[in-house]
């Protein structure tokens, strides 16, 4: 207005200017009003078609009908079947050998013999056959629920177990347990799980050799009850055992077959901050460390794992996800959080 006012000496001339150019000015203001109305209409469309979350994520109010080719994440290349190794199983020992194979047993024998010879020069070499007997006795102790029973009673002629007594002498069994080792301490790495890490990695690799999983998988946690000394022992009050080793597990829904596992080792230090996106990292680690392709499959999780960020990461790998979601997550719209005045079975779409 100052620039226009400087061009005209009197108010009459300025008024004549506005009269002569009224059409141009009206068109200018009409354009501005049209822009504002378009923005308002766009906002109305978003509000009518989507639920908007705090993180600005858009959720369709109505189911979307997808027309065209089937999504790559919904195409299963290999359906459920037994692997060649599983098809050759003829007895219980063959099943055992899939998970704890000759390579693992030989390594345990070598590590145990090397350690025992440093303490006892008269040590009798442990072989695979004798190691299998030791493992068999430990399994039988669980079958007979003898964890609180005296070891001497188990080998007792009158009250003991004949099958255990015939398998191995008590003194030999105790000596093997005293010297049993799962790694070479001189070559041991760093970490809480270092003494057993090599064996556990071999065991995880062997689990993937059993089957080709079905289209539906699930991930959850389990607590292996344990009351002994362990730096990563976990307390979970909602579990029957309360105390033990927490393990995250990837399983096949059709057969309940365990495909992969990760042991929770706890915080690095007492004062360390919790790991960010721990739940998402667990799911991705279970999938990426699995030795076979899981494309085209669906994973079911609970509210601890399920998130929009995780679903996007899985979709990049052609994997879908189904699960409950915590209403506290920022990607959940406020309309999903309120359940008051709603009937049972009522849904938003």
Residue 285 has what pLDDT? 93
**Distance between CA atoms of residues 244 and 57, nearest Å:** 39
Q: Mean pLDDT of all residues in the chain?
A: 83
SS3 18: helix
Predicted confidence (pLDDT) per residue in 229-268, tens digit:
888 899 999 888 899 999 999 999 999 999 999 999 887 6
Nearest to 305 by CA among 276, 345, 277: 277
**Distance between CA atoms of residues 327 and 312, nearest Å:** 18
Q: What is the mean pLDDT of residues 162-169?
A: 92
For 190, the token pair is 């760093």
The larger pLDDT score, comparing residue 44 to residue 228, is at: 228
Cβ atoms of 182 and 196 within 8 Å: the answer is yes
Predicted confidence (pLDDT) per residue in 291-330, tens digit:
778 888 999 999 999 999 999 999 999 999 999 998 888 8
Predicted confidence (pLDDT) per residue in 35-69, tens digit:
555 445 555 555 678 888 888 888 888 877 777 77
Nearest to 251 by CA among 226, 221, 278, 224: 221
What is the widest separation between alpha-carbon atoms in the chain?
128
Q: What is the mean pLDDT of residues 127-134?
A: 95
Can you give the pTM of this predicted structure? 0.78
SS3 of the chain: helix, strand, coil, percent, to 5: 45, 15, 45
Angle between helices 102-119 and 170-179 (to 10 degrees): 90
Residue 121 has what pLDDT? 80
Nearest to 125 by CA among 138, 137, 115, 135: 115
**Strand 234-235 relative to strand 243-252, pairing:** antiparallel
Angle between helices 102-119 and 194-207 (to 10 degrees): 160
Residue 349 has what pLDDT? 60
């Amino acid at each position: 207005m100052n620039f226009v006012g400087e061009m005209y000496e009197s108010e009459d001339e300025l008024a004549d200017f506005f009269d002569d150019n009224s059409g141009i000015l009206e068109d200018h203001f009409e354009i501005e009003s049209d822009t504002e109305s378009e923005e308002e209409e766009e906002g109305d469309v978003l509000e009518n078609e989507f639920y908007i979350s705090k993180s600005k994520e858009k959720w369709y109010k109505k189911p979307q009908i997808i027309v065209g080719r089937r999504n790559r994440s919904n195409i299963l290349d290999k359906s459920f079947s037994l692997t060649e190794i599983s098809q050759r199983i003829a007895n219980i020992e063959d099943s055992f050998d899939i998970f704890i194979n000759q390579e693992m047993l030989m390594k345990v024998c070598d590590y145990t013999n090397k350690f025992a010879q440093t303490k006892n020069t008269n040590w009798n070499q442990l072989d695979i056959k004798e190691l299998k007997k030791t493992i068999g006795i430990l399994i039988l102790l669980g079958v007979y629920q003898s964890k609180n029973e005296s070891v001497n009673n188990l080998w007792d002629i009158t009250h003991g177990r004949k099958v255990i007594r015939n398998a191995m002498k008590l003194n030999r069994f105790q000596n093997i347990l005293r010297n049993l080792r799962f790694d070479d301490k001189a070559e041991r790495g760093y970490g809480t799980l270092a003494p057993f890490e090599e064996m556990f990695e071999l065991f995880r690799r062997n689990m993937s050799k059993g089957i080709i999983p079905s289209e539906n998988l699930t991930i959850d946690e389990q607590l292996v009850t344990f009351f002994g000394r362990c730096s990563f022992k976990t307390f979970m009050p909602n579990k029957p055992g309360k105390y033990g080793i927490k393990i995250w597990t990837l399983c096949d829904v059709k057969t309940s077959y365990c495909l992969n596992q990760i042991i929770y080792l706890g915080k690095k230090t007492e004062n360390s901050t919790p790991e960010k996106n721990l739940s998402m990292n667990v799911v991705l680690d279970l999938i990426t460390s699995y030795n076979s392709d899981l494309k085209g499959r669906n994973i079911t999780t609970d509210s601890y794992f399920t998130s929009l960020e995780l679903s996007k990461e899985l979709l990049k790998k052609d994997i879908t996800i189904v699960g409950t979601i915590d209403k506290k997550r920022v990607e959940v719209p406020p309309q999903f959080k309120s359940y008051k005045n709603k009937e049972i079975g009522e849904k938003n779409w």
